[in-house]
Amino acid sequence: MPRLRWLMIILCFAATTINYIDRATIAIAAPFMAKELHIDPATLGIILGGFFWSYAFMQLPFGMIVDRFGVRSAYALAVIWWSVCTALTAVVRGPLSILGLRLALGVGEAGSYPSNAKVASLWFPKSERGLAAGIFDSGSRAGAAVSLPLVALLVSCLGWRLAFVAAGAMGLIWVVVWLVLYHDPDRHPAISQHQLSLLRAAQPAGSKAAPRAWRRLLKHRTVWGMMLGFFCANFVFYFFATWFPSYLVTAHGFSLKDLGLIGMIPGVTAIPAAWLGGWTSDTLYKRGWSLTSARKTCLVGGLLLSSVIALSAFVTQTWLCIALLSVSFGGIAFTGANIWSLPADIAPSSDLVATLGGLQNSAANIAGIVIASFTGLMVSLTHGSFMIPLCVTGAFGLLGALSYLFIVGPIAPLPLTDNDKERPISASHIVRI
């Protein structure tokens, strides 16, 4: 296989890191923005959740754009869009202008994960796709971890507005590097015909999908299970991406310095956990496990670990709370690598990989809308308590594990014809997991 595949997935990792720095900047700056612009917690929850409305809605359209026009140009367009929207947040004057830019930001950032899934399907064989997904998905944890000290430093030294300018500038720099270095394997001058033939033999079926074939995907139980399971995983993850800094400040009295040092521990822990999740499922598959057992073992196990976030609501020691949150965040990262392996594993055609990735991510990011608004409302009603949001978040981790175990069927390319039926899960398969 061409060694260049690792460079391509590292570029995806870098874009995902910047993506999450951009979206996490408002979570870190939120307490200071709220104070300066006189925004109450309930309104702040609506603002934080507003991003996910457009982000979720645009997942499927952007996935179809990636499949139709190619990942090179589509990814560049997405990053330019979201970088400009991030930088413009520096000039907001009130809740409405913030909400408008958050909605616009979601449109651009919707292109990131469908593009990542497409790159992994083009450059990696099935036996390495888990690790590839773990690498690019760990960018979300790296972004969350890096943004804490970086944005906290910028806010303390220069104010929260300049933090958005700096975050936007990083994306524009990435676009230049991407356009210089990235090409699909069949158009890359450094890939030999022999390497290309080996790579293509390990890809999803290359037949052209019919127009609107994505609608047929929704006839399969597996697709709905993927959507529900990812929704639950994101319910846990987006607590960290939206309310986590405010939780540490409110419930544990963290200062900006504490956020930059102690607060980044869960995010740092999650980075190797994402790589480990992908590596584990790939290794199990190489050692003779079925792809279904290898992927599902990691999906279910990671989500069970993520549910310990509920226990952090009942501890008063800061170190124990951070430890539990680190296990939870690590569990979600372990799961995420395998979630993003599924589009290429299950897509019936190479023309539907990004589309399927966008479809599952669209449903998953409704969780961002729900948890951002739900947490803001609960914190307002309970006068600053995070107990109910944390317990509900842990319950969704358990529900996600059940979804991948019982609703998602065998991990294999789905049929698109009406005559083909999705194979049911056998009792022996469930016992083995």
pLDDT above 70 (res 212):
no
The predicted pLDDT at position 12 comes to 96
Mean pLDDT, range 23-40, rounded to an integer = 81
- 234 CB contacts (<8 Å, ≥6 apart)? 364, 365, 367, 368
The predicted pLDDT at position 208 comes to 56
- Classify 303 as helix, strand or coil: helix
Q: Amino acid identity of 414?
A: L
The predicted pLDDT at position 83 comes to 94
Lowest mean pLDDT among 166-170, 265-269, 428-432: 428-432
pLDDT above 90 (res 161):
no
Instruction: Give the count of alpha carbons within 13 A of 5, CB side only.
Output: 22
Lowest mean pLDDT among 307-311, 324-328, 404-408, 413-417: 413-417
The predicted pLDDT at position 163 comes to 84
Report the chain's mean pLDDT, rounded to a whole number: 85
The predicted pLDDT at position 426 comes to 46
The predicted pLDDT at position 431 comes to 39
Residue 38 φ/ψ, nearest 5 degrees = 60, 55
Q: Scan for tokens 């000290």, then name that residue.
A: 149
The larger pLDDT score, comparing residue 24 to residue 61, is at 61
Q: What is the pLDDT of residues 234-287, one digit of tens each?
A: 999 888 877 787 788 877 777 767 766 777 788 788 889 989 999 999 999 999
Chain length of the chain: 433
| CATH numeric code, 4-432 | 1.20.1250.20
Provide the 10 A C-beta neighbour count for residue 397: 26
Scanning 192-220, the segments in alpha helix (DSSP H) are 193-201, 214-217
The predicted pLDDT at position 227 comes to 94
Provide the 10 A C-beta neighbour count for residue 413: 14
pLDDT above 50 (res 429):
no
Lowest mean pLDDT among 61-75, 98-112, 211-225, 310-324: 211-225
Q: What is the pLDDT of residues 68-116, one digit of tens each?
A: 889 999 999 999 999 999 999 888 888 888 899 989 999 999 999 899 9
The predicted pLDDT at position 395 comes to 95
Domain boundaries, the chain: 4-432
pLDDT above 50 (res 433):
no
Residue 304 · residue 397 · CB < 8 Å = yes
pLDDT above 80 (res 201):
no
The DSSP secondary-structure symbol of 187 reads G
Note the pTM of the prediction, 2 decimals: 0.76
Distances (CA, A) of 102 to 85, 93, 417: 8, 14, 40
Lowest mean pLDDT among 67-81, 170-184, 352-366: 352-366
The predicted pLDDT at position 6 comes to 93
Mean pLDDT, range 157-171, rounded to an integer = 86
